């Protein structure tokens, strides 16, 4: 089995050392590089070709948000998981909108961090429905009406079935749960999710959830 290649990005050497030591004991994970600032990320990604980047948010020169936006705007970008000390932080929301696959708290138990890396590498964003709702609620601001209008224009491109799937994704349901609730196969759900991502030019299920929320599809 091919090892999951991971790049660590954090300005604290002790944090990097702890993560490297903890992940070094996993047979299916390989640490391919470390960086102390977001400005180093793109060059390191080109050199080390990681599958997953664990990205700190607060760094002195180029922060993790900017680095995530730059990285995810490129073709064939690795998945990004942001590291944070906050359960609900508007900066985390910005990272998710930029295309990050989720986030983990720095005090998360080692086994759960390893699980998060494996899940993200497999294409499954790491963000619980509860945390998704916290982030969405935290992001409410004066620009909400404008954001809702733009989001509704985008989701208008979806068919009825695709909209139903988008709502279910927004509520944190798995493919199996969506399939059971909408009386379709899991394969059909996956097809709908792929079409939604393509039609709306999104990176992952987290962004579907955010857009569904912005458009007001989860209000009922």
Residue where the block lists tokens 């590291």: 83
Q: Is the separation of the CB atoms in 52 and 117 below 8 Å? A: yes
Asked if 170 and 162 count as a contact pair (C-beta separation under 8 A), the reply is no
Predicted pLDDT of residue 60: 85
pLDDT in tens, 110-126: 888 888 888 888 877 77
Q: Is 74 left (phi over 0), alpha (psi -120 to 50) or beta?
A: beta
Provide the pLDDT for residue 111: 83
pLDDT score, position 131: 56
Number of CB atoms found within 10 A of residue 135's CB: 25
Phi-psi region of 26 (alpha: psi -120 to 50; beta: other; left: phi over 0): beta
User: CA 40 → CA 4, 59, 133, 214, distances in Å?
Assistant: 21, 11, 32, 33
Q: Which residues of the chain have pLDDT under 70?
A: 1, 86-92, 127-145, 220
What's the pLDDT score for residue 15?
87
């Amino acid at each position: 089995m091919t090892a999951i290649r991971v790049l660590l990005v954090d300005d604290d050497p002790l944090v990097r050392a702890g993560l490297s030591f903890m992940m070094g004991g996993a047979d299916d994970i390989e640490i391919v590089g470390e960086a102390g600032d977001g400005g180093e990320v793109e060059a390191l990604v080109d050199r080390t070709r990681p599958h997953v980047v664990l990205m700190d948010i607060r760094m002195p020169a180029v922060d993790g948000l900017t680095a995530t936006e730059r990285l995810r705007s490129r073709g064939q970008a690795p998945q990004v998981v942001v590291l944070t000390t906050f359960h609900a932080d508007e900066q985390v929301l910005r990272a998710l909108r930029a295309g990050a696959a989720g986030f983990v708290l720095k005090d998360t138990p080692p086994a759960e961090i390893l699980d998060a890396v494996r899940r993200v590498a497999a294409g499954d964003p790491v963000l619980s429905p509860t945390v998704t709702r916290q982030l969405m609620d935290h992001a409410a601001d004066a620009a909400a009406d404008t954001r809702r209008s733009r989001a509704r224009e985008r989701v208008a491109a979806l068919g009825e079935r695709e909209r139903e799937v988008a709502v279910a994704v927004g509520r944190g349901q798995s493919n199996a749960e969506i399939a059971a609730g909408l009386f379709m196969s899991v394969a059909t759900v996956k097809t709908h999710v792929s079409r939604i991502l393509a039609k709306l030019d999104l990176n992952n299920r987290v962004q579907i959830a955010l857009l569904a929320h912005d458009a007001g599809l989860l209000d009922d």
